[in-house]
Amino acid sequence: METLLLNSEDVHHNTSMAELIPAIEEAFAAYENGNAKMPAKSYIDLPQYNGDFRSMPAYLDTGEWDAAGIKWVNVHTDNEEQFDLPTVMGTMIYSEPENAFPLSIMDGTELTMQRTGAAAAVATDHLAVEDASSMGIVGAGVQAYSQLEAISEIRDIEEVVVSDLDEARVAEFIDTFEDRFTVRSGTPRDAAHCDVLSTVTPVRNPIIGPDDVGEHTHINAMGADAEGKHEIEDDVLLNAKLVIDDYAQTTHSGEINVPWANGVLDDDDLYGEIGEIVVGKKAGRTAEDGVTVFDSTGLAIQDVAAAHVVYEHASERDNGTGFDLLGLA
């Protein structure tokens, strides 16, 4: 047996949103039904390098397939300026649960981007209005692309408003999608008035307030992944149907972490976890709902589910490079 090495191009080529979205939904269901194991994300802070490492292991069993793996990911904020490297890089080790053989080592950066978009799509499918046709995106970095690709898979998106302080990023985003959607630049408020809004910024001072959002806007709050990050004003969260991906992670480092630490939000303000909605324990959007919010921190079960999709297709298509990692040949 060989271990399959998959670079970012291989991961991208073998990630179909049409298959990834249901796989992520199955992962949420497995976790909610007690068929997944996901230890808490662990952090190694490296203040001397203005960065950190994070380890994210998981196992899940959907009934039709099971999978295991661990993602090793970093956030080093000085990388681009000092080393011409990405701020965030990840490596995924995907293993055979039955015997622990390392089936694949794959780029975790592209994997993270794709599964994060798919997670937002799952939440949007359950929480956005059925006839949603407009989407706003605040933050025109790499994550913005997979947000639109994924959400347009489950809603008939026609109009897109993108907002970013970097005009070059906005122009590049518009150029990429203008043949498929009506795309324009706008303010955060313009973006937040759309049927669906995804925020993908690293800000610590909220940029979306109560007067910005539409009456029935669904918000995917995707940017907060560490203590202190906060994109959405407290009043929006307090008045919305607030859904999280995982209690421990969101209260520690998700969009709700700041108001939670300040005592502004507590358990009574949380509607539930996305897994509860996926399996039918709680309702998604109802006729009475106004603004809905999905607080996503990104879960290891999502990485493992995405790695499963990528590995299966890469094996079928003979993509990647096989090598004898363990010296068993």
- Residues belonging to the active site: 71
Give yes or no for a contact between 159 and 181, defined as CB atoms under 8 angstroms apart: yes
How far apart, in whole angstroms, are the C-alpha atoms of residue 213 and residue 199?
A: 12
In 3D space, the residue among 310, 250, 325 whose CA is nearest the CA of residue 108 turns out to be 310
HSE of 189, CA atoms in CB hemisphere, 13 A? 4
Are 311 and 106 within 8 A, CB to CB? yes
Cα dist. 179→124, 158, 176, 183, 234 in Å?
A: 23, 11, 8, 9, 37
H-helix segments, 52-179: 79-83, 108-127, 142-154, 167-177
Q: Cα(200)–Cα(178) distance, rounded to whole angstroms? A: 20
Half-sphere exposure of 249 (CA within 13 A, CB side): 22
Report the distance separating Cα 198 and Cα 132, nearest Å.
Answer: 13
Contact 91, 70 (CB under 8 A): no
Instruction: Write out the binding residues.
Output: 115, 142-143, 223-225, 229, 296
Instruction: Give dist(CA 109, CA 93) in Å, integer.
Output: 12
| Residues of the binding site for NAD(+) | 115, 142-143, 223-225, 229, 296
- Give yes or no for a contact between 78 and 50, defined as CB atoms under 8 angstroms apart: yes
Query: Beta strand 42-46 with 3-6: parallel, antiparallel or unpaired?
Result: unpaired
Maximal CA-CA distance, the chain: 64
Q: Rounded to whole angstroms, what are the CA distances from 25 to 31, 180, 278?
A: 10, 26, 7
Residue 35 amino acid letter: N
